[in-house]
Amino acid sequence: MDYRSAGVDFDAAAQAKVKIRDLARSTFTAGALGDIGSFGGLFRLDVERYREPVLVSSVDGVGTKLKVAFATGRHDTVGYDLVSHCINDILVQGARPLFFLDYLAMGKLVPDTAAAVVSGVARACREFKLTLIGGETAEMPDFYDPGEYDLAGTIVGVVEREKIVDGRTVVPGDVLLGLKSWGLHTNGYSLARRIFFEKERLRPDSFVSDLGTTVADALLAAHRCYLPLLEEALDLGLVKAMAHITGGGITDNVPRVLPEGTSASVRLGSWELPPLFRFLRERGAVETAEVLRTWNAGIGMIVMVAASAADEVSRVMARAGEEPVRLGEVVPGDGRVLYEGTI
């Protein structure tokens, strides 16, 4: 017997690593040392840029959005989603990304599929200027079904200690500004897939007139990275707190950054519920409270600023590409999100 007869193909792994190495090298920034293929990735922190640098890290996956990639054979977008999600998670504490590591596990390693997945990771790393410094590509026969894989990633960024954004200065009267999402991002897919594919009996290539696109295009829309919109506002020190609206929606994510004794008052109707979320709510008979806790409902990032700075922050973001939505205010309370109106 040999390893190939047990389901692990060293030759396929070697082919995949060649493709992945070139993709990773295309992301290298000035801090990258060494090369892909070592036991550990090396990165030099430019300490001269910081008085007291603090490293910020996060790890995440893509979740069952991968099921849509499997069904469509489109594997070059989920890696982009992963990097964007991870950047947003450290961005809310004021950190800028330095480097990224990915983990890709497949039942049977298909070099072209692995390269397509990592191409999305590399594309996002190049766009947002961080180094894909290493990772792991695992072949695990009998663990994943044919054609399926799992994808996760770890990001490390840096922030000046005095510029950490943690919500400690948030007070009643501060303004909530919302930045729009590009779709479901990477959360709530278990319910969305059930509505599209089980209840409505649609296929990935089905065109949905209410959405103006196919099911696949709607569900594979990219997870938006908010770094370009927020960099200048962060540099100016105008941001008090941020909440990345991921699993748990607005309802569960905003309280994570509220200091004791405060709540967030959100005016439903201050933004329009996008067609995708209206479709899911109506076809799935999903209550509004569930929409706001399962999905991002069209708002992917919420920023808290002083009322006196709200207009300036809005102008700064508009120059970067989008004017935010005024969602509501911070109010005295017990740490919950309080909704007013309807959406």
- Alpha carbon dihedral 205, 69, 251, 231, in 10-degree steps, equals -110
Question: Residue 59 pLDDT > 80, yes or no?
Answer: yes
Higher pLDDT, 20 or 201: 201
Asked whether residue 38 carries a pLDDT value surpassing 90, the answer given is no
Q: Evaluate if pTM is beyond 0.75.
A: yes
Superfamily of domain 4-163: PurM-like, N-terminal domain (3.30.1330.10)
**Which residues in 148-171 are b (16+ Cβ under 10 Å) and which e?**
ebbbbbbbbbbbeeebebebeebe
- Distance from C-alpha of 233 to C-alpha of 313, rounded to nearest angstrom: 6
Band of pLDDT at residue 19, cut at 50, 70 and 90: confident
- Its CATH architecture, for the domain 175-341, is Alpha-Beta Complex (3.90)
pLDDT of 169 higher than 90: yes
Structure tokens at 144: 């994943």
Q: Where are the alpha helices (DSSP H) in 176-267?
A: 189-193, 215-219, 227-235, 249-253
Residue 34 pLDDT more than 90? no
Confidence of residue 139 (pLDDT cuts 50, 70, 90): very high
**CA 167, CA 212: separation in Å to the nearest integer?**
39
Per-residue pLDDT band at 14 (split at 50, 70, 90):
confident
pLDDT for residue 37 = 80
Higher local confidence (pLDDT), 39 or 88: 88
pLDDT-wise least confident of 15-19, 272-276, 322-326: 15-19
265-283 mean pLDDT? 98
Sequence ranges of the domains in the chain: 4-163, 175-341
Mean of pLDDT values over 285-309: 98
Tell me the average pLDDT of the chain: 95
